[in-house]
Structure formats: structure tokens, C-alpha cells
Structure 1
Amino acid sequence: MSISPLPGDASNDPTEDQTGRFVRQPNGRVRPLSPHLQVWRFHLTMAGSILNRIAAGALSFGTLFVVAWLGSAAFGSDAYARFASIMGSPLGLLVWFGLSLAGAYHLTAGIRHMIWDAGSGLTPKTATNLTIVSMVAAVVIVAVFWAALFMTGRVVL
């Protein structure tokens, strides 16, 4: 565990640092400035993490559509028919497609994360490959799901 030098430490006084790598906290201690996007080089696992957070947000927003669907069913056949006509339109189908893509990616990225949490696949090359697999698998899952919906006639344009 790294302990930041106390202010006034003669061996390595960060208060004299002119590079901006240290910051004084409200309690008076001097700590190194945390790295951020200006320091890190962008890579695919970073994109996978960002996409997973976006997918989680989309799924949270998509819950409103599921609640509206259930609510329309509870309010009777007229309300349900109105909801089904709106969400069965091309724009509504695009919303459902986006939500299914977000769900599939969130699922595959979660599996990727479980592999990492088990201590496997943590080398840079393997982590990148797992990220690619999670992205491709999500697209394949959604493509198969929507192809099945269209081929069975459950969804039509």
C-alpha cells in the first residue's frame, strides 16, 4: 500500500512539484493526481466497458416501455391495441431492437466480466479478444432473435 508523503517530507516533497502531478486534499495531505482519459491510451476493453454502461442506461430507460406495455394490458384491450400499434410501427420496432441489443450486450459483457472476476482472461490480448467476442455474440444473438420474429410472422413491417 502506497502512503503519500507528508507535507514537508525532505526526501520527496510533492508540494514543491511543478508538474501538476500532485494535489493537496482538504485535510492537508498531498496525494498524487489520479490518471484519467488524458493519460490512458484508448483501447477496445475501454470501449467495451463504456458500451456496457451505455447498455445499462438504455435498459433502465427501456424499463419504462415495459411498464407502459404492462399498464396498457391492465387498462384493457383498447389501450393495449393503441400501445401495440405505436410500438409495432417502424419507430417502435427500432426502440425494441435497440433494447434487445442493449440487453444482449449487457448479458455478454456480464459473462465476460464474470470470467475476469474468476481471474481468467486478464492478459491484454485475451481481454481484448473476450471483448470482441462479447460484442460479436451480442450482435449474433439479436440478429437471430429478430430473424426468428420476422420469419415466424410475429413481427411485420
Structure 2
Amino acid sequence: MTQPSPTPGGASSDRTGRYVTQPNGHVTPVSPFTDVWRWHVTMAASILFRATIIAATVGAVILTVWLGALAFGPDHYACLLDLAGSPIGLIVFFGLTVVLFSFVLNGARHLINDTGRGLTLKSANLLSNIAVWGPVPLAVVFWIILFAAGRVSL
């Protein structure tokens, strides 16, 4: 595979900073992948998976607060339930539901990849698209079911 040639004049005329003149006079890219890199859905799936790990930390803090309220007695627990049932609390729990579904879908993607399957371009794209776009619709359906069953109300 041939690399595209840098701008005429060598690294000194390159305004992007992607090329450097080597001691032997050859002009090479700073990274060999700067000329062939492009955004891909598998990268988005990887980045979003890391973002969900950060968001899951919020869920762990909420779980700790819930256990603390449970330990401090019925008054504290009732206050926490009121906060959880407020619109802001429902938005936070909806977000945590998206995180949960993201973990499940990304975990399934990783499990499939660990078996040696799903590594072709077509299947990797399909699994990544499912992992990127699937959590929100699944969370919406889950919350519609919760509201329809009367488990949650405003």
C-alpha cells in the first residue's frame, strides 16, 4: 500500500504538523497512520463503552447512597424515594438504564469477538452498530413497560 506524498517542499511547508523531516532527509508522517486513519463505528463503540464505565460509577455512588439511606432509617429512605421518583431522579435512572443496556450489548459483542467470530468487517460493523444504537431504544421500551405496568409514575 502506498502512502500519499506529503505537500511539496517537505515537512517545513506542512501546516498540519503531521510530517517530519528525518535526519537522512526523508519526509515521513509523524505517525504512519495519519494518512489512512478515518472515523469508524467500531471506534465509536469502543469509546462509548469506556464512557459507560464512567457512568456506571455514578450508579455505584447512587447504590451506596441508597444503602446509606436504608441504614439511617425510614425517614431518610422516604426522602431518597421522593428524590428518585422526581423527574430529575427518573432522568438519572433512565440514563443508568441506557448504561445497563450498553454494558449488555457491548459485553455480548466482546464475548462474540473473544470466540473468534464477528471479526470480519461486515460483522464487526453490525455488532458495533447494535452496541452503539441499541441501548437507547431498549431503554425507552423498558421504561414504557414500567410506566404501562404502573411500576413508575410521575
Structure 2: distance between partners of 1:90 and 1:17: 64
Structure 2: distance between partners of 1:18 and 1:92: 59
Question: Secondary structure at 2:27's aligned position in 1?
Answer: coil
Task: Give identity over the alignment, percent.
Answer: 40
Offset at residue 83 of structure 1 (A): 0.7
**C-alpha contact 2:118 2:127 (8 A) present in aligned 1:** yes
Structure 1, unaligned stretches of length 5 or more?
A: 1-13, 23-32
Higher relative contact order (CA 8 A, sep 6+): 2
**C-alpha contact 2:66 2:77 (8 A) present in aligned 1:** yes
Question: Secondary structure at 1:95's aligned position in 2?
Answer: helix
Per the alignment, do residues 74 and 119 of structure 1 end up closer, same or farther by CA in structure 2, a change over 3 Å counting? same
- The residue type equivalent to 2:77 in the other structure is Y
Matched, 1:148 2:148: no
Structure 2: distance between partners of 1:73 and 1:134: 35
Q: TM-score, structure 1 length as denominator? A: 0.74
1:128 pairs, out of 125, 131, 143, with: 125
Structure 2, unaligned stretches of length 5 or more?
A: 1-21
Q: TM-score, structure 2 length as denominator? A: 0.76
Offset at residue 141 of structure 1 (A): 3.0
C-alpha distance after superposition, 1:23-75 (max 9, x if no partner): xxxxxxxxxx4747x85200111111111111111001221011111111111
Matched, 1:90 2:87: yes
Q: Where do residues 1-157 of structure 1 align in structure 2 (5 Å cutoff)?
A: 15-16=23-24, 18-19=26-27, 21=29, 33=31, 35=33, 40-157=37-154
**C-alpha contact 2:48 2:132 (8 A) present in aligned 1:** no
How many pairs are equivalent?
Answer: 133
RMSD: 2.1
